[in-house]
Amino acid sequence: MIDKLTVNEHSSIRIGADKVIYFDPFHLNKADHDADIIFITHDHYDHFSPEDIEKCANSDTRFVAPYTMAKAFSKARINEESVTFMHAGYSAEVLGVPVDAIAAYNMIKPFHPKKSGWLGYVVTLEGKRIYVCGDTDATLEAKDVTCDIICVPIGGTFTIGAKQAAELVNQIKPEIAVPIHYGSIVGKPSEADNFAACVNPPIQVIKKI
């Protein structure tokens, strides 16, 4: 499964499994229009980019998004009938893919307040639970997730930094950790090495950027 997961840039993820899934498409180089499902974690420009959504979406694409983003989707002229709007703690099945919505927020920083209702997601693909955290701190909700693969922000400033992200990963104990949200807008590329140095074996750190 990890071989089917790519990080385009920042937090933009594509998984080419039985269903082609994108998370927060951003700065896509090609217009493949191949998405079965597009997940959006929140409405900041580097996570909700209608221009990039247009590059990967097609007429049959389904979307998953926080319930608080209904107006943003309407403004982007995305048909609400194609969107599954979710609350934190809820579960759904979209095109046969099980989805758990996990609250994503800052505990002290002001950038991602809990009241905004923004999300990370756990999707189950080919028997593996993959947790894409969204922009978050090491919250109680995040620590309570069970998963096989975690895509965790490490850039600091707007989210947890490398050391705190490693502590979260060490508590969750997935098989594989993929650092995201660094190397472009925020967080030096070297943060991935700092993160990897703090992750306990046998957890594998795989850098996709």
Which of 174, 166, 126, 173 has its CA nearest to residue 149? 174
For residue range 14-62, list pLDDT tens digits in order: 999 889 999 999 989 899 999 999 999 999 888 999 999 999 999 999 9
pLDDT in tens, 126-158: 999 999 999 999 999 999 999 999 999 997 677
CA-based nearest residue to 181, from 122, 127, 120: 120
**The pLDDT of residue 186:** 66
Q: 188-200 pLDDT, tens per residue?
A: 777 889 999 999 9
Tokens representing 15 are 């998984």
How far is it, in rounded angstroms, from Cα 26 to Cα 12? 5
Instruction: Name the β-bridge partners of 85.
Output: 65
Question: Any idea what DSSP says for residue 148?
Answer: S
pLDDT in tens, 3-21: 999 998 778 899 998 899 9
Give the pLDDT score at 182: 80
Tokens at 137, concatenated? 């701190």
Domains of the chain by range and CATH? 2-205 (3.60.15.10)
Looking at residue 149, its pLDDT comes to 98
